[in-house]
Structure 1
Amino acid sequence: MLGLSLKYHHDKTNELLENLRWIQEKRRKYWKLSLHCTDYLVPKTLSNGPLFTDESKLYWHAFATNEKRDQLYYRRLNYALKATLSKATVKDSNLKYVLLSERLIDVKRFDLIDRKNFIRKIMQFLRKQQELEVVCLEGLQVSKIEGFDILTSLSSSSFYVRFLYIWRFFQKNEYSIPRESDGLYKFDPYFWLNAIGNFRFLETISVNYSCVASDSGHVILQLANVLGPNWKWLQLLCQEDEIPDTFNERGEKNSVTIPDDTWIEVRKYSPKLKVQIFMIGIPHYDQHKKFLTANILVETFSLATNLQFVYDKPCFIDCTLKTIYLWYHRTLVQLHINLWNHREFIDAHLRLIFARLPNLKFFEYIGQVQDFVTILTMCCQIKYGVTRPELVHLQIPKPADKENHWLSKIHCYLNSLKEDFEKLEVKFVVDLYPF
């Protein structure tokens, strides 16, 4: 919508678009977490992650940030979008990027006729573009057929598209489709590959894990074969309803694990490829390991767990970290761990992170730190050259019984290392948050 509105500004929507810009710039204070029938507002203490679009930054930490808006807002917003698209489809244009996201558009709120017209107008607009380089369709949650049609509408820009962001582009459980005449649902993620088969110069693609997972590994192999050496980044979103070898309410598999040998074959086609893995709302190690294999060239690993309102069983985050140390110690550059109100202490592993991950440049941790010695150890490892990160950002809960002593002790020690860290060009930040 931003890409469209910058080019085609509709007179009747000035006020609304101003509100949209205000919403984007507004400092977000809460994560809205939907659990069953209840929405929980969680204090936001996280910085946005280094992905390209605002939407990617939004999902970096995985929880919808904007407050719930009323029906009038969505009606005005949908009107503004339809007016903008109507004007855009009758004029020549040559945009470089298009951003369509659920933050601005809620497709589910259209009735059947308006939804059909909306998809048709998007397709008409995209067909007119000749030099699109960045396409963001995150969170639209369209049907399989709608998504296929939208992606194929980009064919006019197929030689120009470099960045394609389609996290949560398809509706949930849309990866299983009826095949042949029996009407039975069978797992088949191949359908969307045909839609981007001509994007031979894609460098970055963000997609749900389920979209590239298959028993044989042929989906991601075919993608690597098409994109070849131009392919540099694969951003995989791993969600709880896509855990491999689990089943949905219809008895269908949510996903399967990509075979480990497949990643070796992928590198033959795309030797520059690096993988960024984002696990959202998945707290347990036995769930994490279903997504991971040894030969993935993981450059970024981001783990964000949900709040634990009921402590049913240990999560064994330490086992997840051991797996990362073992498999990705040569490739991992960014590590983000967000443990919301977790009851497990991982101080021993925090002290080992820099020693076990020598190439780590960015480390962000939100969660419990039991002992001040943990922070002291991490600082000493940096000072004495065990590692040379660019940014370390720790956000820890404020202990109610000793908050002043804890805070002053940390700041005093960091101030004593200020000159050393400046010479090393290292930024080390510790924040406290009430929780």
Structure 2
Amino acid sequence: MPDNNSQQPRNTLFARGSWSETARISDILRKETVGGALLLVATVIALVWANSPWSDSYSDLGALHVGTDALGVHLDLSLATWAADGLLAIFFFVVGLELKREFVAGDLRDPARAALPIAAAVGGMIVPAVIFVAFTAHVGDGAMKGWAIPTATDIAFAVAVLAVISTHLPAALRTFLLTLAVVDDLLAISVIAFFYSEDLKPSALLIALIPLALFAFCVQRRIRSWWILIPLAVLTWVFVHESGIHATVAGVVLGFTVPVLRSQAAGGPDAGPGLAEHFEHRIRPISAGVAIPIFAFFAAGVTIGGLGGLTDALTDPIALGIVCGLVVGKTVGIFGTTRLLSSVSRASLDASVKWIDVAGISMLAGIGFTVSLLIGDLAYGLGSERDEHVKIGVLVGSLLAALLASMVLRARNRHYRAIREQEERDDDHDGIPDIYQ
């Protein structure tokens, strides 16, 4: 098969993208790797503190209330709630920016290329949900409310693991993982909005449209002044929070309003980067380095109670459903959907990719953390016994998924390292690998 991407048949899965898009994805993955390391540190600190003699102080810190209800809106929230509702809105703002950029200016603006990660994300959501329901259907008492917990992929953790175990995978696979996780996050936030929002207040939602419309007007006019945009974004968040819809939805909607291209009338994607890229460069470090680790610190601290406590938690059908949903459901859903799409469309894998690579990436997508913990809190109540079991299920399932993916991808990494070394010897060192020329 020719190396030139323009000559590749359209019915090829995981075909190599453009060099500019590959370079952009690589830059994002490097930033997410750092964020994943910070996320891991925050999680370890929370677990150690929650299982130490000072565990009560950890609980008291998360329950500490900050804010006021005096302004007519309910903003007297605990620190743990501020982290879940407020800081995660920053994370989902970046998700909105990334998703819009992928489908407006990225390689995935081609519907044929976009179909694969979208279909895989849907499959990777349906199968884990079905597995969770199968484990909890007989329990009753609202146990099935957590059906969406094992459906989300944590991109920061997944990319951090990928960076450690396999640095030479084809760029198309890394792009697939990133885009899959972004679409996965969009599906998860849609689930939160439709299934985990309660006591809706239409009046507050209508009021939220006012600052949202002003924010959209400003960014469409390419206004970058923080003293204008941040207050409008905060007001949008406040009234979405007040409406009963989970406040993180505001982050995604705000991200969707930001233009991707510098000038829509000046030549499409070739017109240059717009505000989306500018905001992403500014806000992604805050999201990955501050917002997500702080949320993890407050969300991941669960008192395990030794081996006996761990065993008791993992005999709960809810925890078992989460573990199997993440480890088995994600792998079967993503890999199975990809194989099905290949059969239906009669598409073949790119010559540089093997099905075992796709299986490894599918296993890696079983690392669920940030959004899974958030949905667990919403489904069963923050600090409840079931919520504690959710945390153990998410942690154990994510760890197993990471270990299984490591076994597969480390073996494949040796194969691709040899290929990369040969390419580097043949490279003309002009800054763009020869395979993209």
Give the TM interval when normalised to the shorter protein: under 0.3
Could you say which structure has the higher helix fraction?
2
Considering Cα pairs closer than 8 Å and 6+ residues apart, tell me whether 1 or 2 has the greater RCO: 2
User: TM-score, with normalisation over the residues of structure 2?
Assistant: 0.23
- TM-score when scaled to structure 1? 0.23
Q: If you compute each CA radius of gyration, which structure gives the higher value, 1 or 2?
A: 1
Q: Which has the higher strand share?
A: 1
